[in-house]
Chain A
Amino acid sequence: AQKITQTQPGMFVQEKEAVTLDCTYDTSDQSYGLFWYKQPSSGEMIFLIYQGSYDEQNATEGRYSLNFQKARKSANLVISASQLGDSAMYFCAMREGQTGGFKTIFGAGTRLFVKA
Chain B
Amino acid sequence: EPEVTQTPSHQVTQMGQEVILRCVPISNHLYFYWYRQILGQKVEFLVSFYNNEISEKSEIFDDQFSVERPDGSNFTLKIRSTKLEDSAMYFCATLGVTYEQYFGPGTRLTVT
- Report which A residues bind B (CB closer than 8 A): 33, 35, 37, 43-45, 47, 50, 52, 91, 93, 95, 101-109
CB contacts under 8 Å to A, within B35-55, are 35, 41-45, 48, 50, 55
Binding site secondary structure of chain A: strand
Contact B45 A43 (CB under 8 A): no
CA distance A109 to B50 in the complex (A): 28
CB contacts under 8 Å to A, within B69-111, are 89, 91, 93, 95, 99-103, 105-106, 108
Contact A104 B93 (CB under 8 A): yes
Count A-B contacts at CB 8 Å.
53
- Report which B residues bind A (CB closer than 8 A): 31, 33, 35, 41-45, 48, 50, 55-56, 89, 91, 93, 95, 99-103, 105-106, 108
